[in-house]
Amino acid sequence: MVLLRGNHESRNISTVYGFYDEIAKKYGNHNVWNYFTDTFDYLPLAAVIEGEVFCVHGGLSPKRTTIDTIRTLERNVEIPPSGPICDLMWSDPEDDIEDWKPSSRMAGWLFGRKVVEEFEHLNEVKLIVRAHQLVQEGYKWHFNKHLVTVWSAPNYCYKMNNEAAILKINSSFEKEFTVYGASEDNKKNVNYMQLLPYFL
């Protein structure tokens, strides 16, 4: 199993979204949070499966168009507010554009069909797999099945009523999705921040 870094594996986002507070309440100090965030810095930014599938949390970067140039990035850093590491964590596909467009997230880019086709051609990959955006059905194809978003958190934040999915790719490059819903406890529409003590 290989864990990839995502935009939440950072000091800033893990503080804003409650992980910092959860650690403090559970352990009485923030030392464990420091160990977690130091570990986040070492997580891979992307992965290539059998030379054919490029996996990344967010998306592509106009500053790194080949896998070889992505490999040269110094990943042992906090995710910066801009630049190629930020782009890999924060960028999203956009079906209605061809090239690049600034993202409304204020980090990363929106990228279109032409960007994906060029990346696949330059790097000789057949598919890009990413996460980062909630999709109601658990997964969503883009650009004539050249890119897929796979979302793994059902009923996100206890209120989105979305499905989640796992993608399996066999040695013949056949793709199979396992789609699943939330557990009964997770189906309740509640304020997840009020549940913080439950996790401690």
In the structure, what pLDDT confidence band is assigned to residue 193 with cuts at 50, 70 and 90? low
Q: Are 108 and 89 spatial neighbours (Cβ–Cβ below 8 Å)? A: yes
In this prediction, residue 42 carries a pLDDT of 96
In this prediction, residue 195 carries a pLDDT of 54
In this prediction, residue 183 carries a pLDDT of 83
Q: What is the dihedral of CA 130, 48, 4, 12, to 10 degrees?
A: -70
Looking only at the bridges linking them, the beta strands covering 147-150 and 127-130 are parallel
Q: Are 181 and 164 spatial neighbours (Cβ–Cβ below 8 Å)? A: yes
In this prediction, residue 19 carries a pLDDT of 95
The single-letter DSSP state of residue 135 is -
Q: CB-hemisphere CA count at 13 Å for 27? A: 13
In the structure, what pLDDT confidence band is assigned to residue 184 with cuts at 50, 70 and 90? confident
In the sheet that 109-111 helps form, which strands lie side by side, from edge to edge?
A: 92-93, 109-111, 100-102
199 pLDDT above the threshold of 60: no
161 pLDDT above the threshold of 70: yes
User: Of 129, 108, 128, 110, whose CA–CA distance to 118 is shortest?
Assistant: 128
pLDDT tens, 121-141?
Answer: 999 999 999 999 999 999 999
Question: Helical H runs in the chain?
Answer: 11-16, 19-27, 31-40, 67-71, 84-90, 113-123
In the structure, what pLDDT confidence band is assigned to residue 191 with cuts at 50, 70 and 90? low
Q: What is the mean pLDDT of residues 111-127?
A: 98
User: Of 85, 121, 90, 88, whose CA–CA distance to 104 is shortest?
Assistant: 90
- Scan for tokens 């970067």, then name that residue: 61
In this prediction, residue 200 carries a pLDDT of 41
Mean pLDDT of the chain: 93
pLDDT tens, 144-158?
Answer: 999 999 999 999 988
In this prediction, residue 186 carries a pLDDT of 64
Q: What is the mean pLDDT of residues 161-167?
A: 97
In angstroms, the CA 43 to CA 64 distance is 18
H helix and E strand count, the chain:
6, 10
In angstroms, the CA 121 to CA 54 distance is 12
Q: What is the mean pLDDT of residues 14-22?
A: 94
Domain boundaries, the chain: 11-199
Catalytic residue among 8, 121, 132, 142: 8
Q: Which helix (H) or strand (E) holds 178?
A: strand 175-180
Is there a catalytic annotation at residue 121?
no
196 pLDDT above the threshold of 60: no
Q: What is the mean pLDDT of residues 82-110?
A: 97
173 pLDDT above the threshold of 80: yes
Q: Which CATH architecture has domain 11-199?
A: 4-Layer Sandwich (3.60)
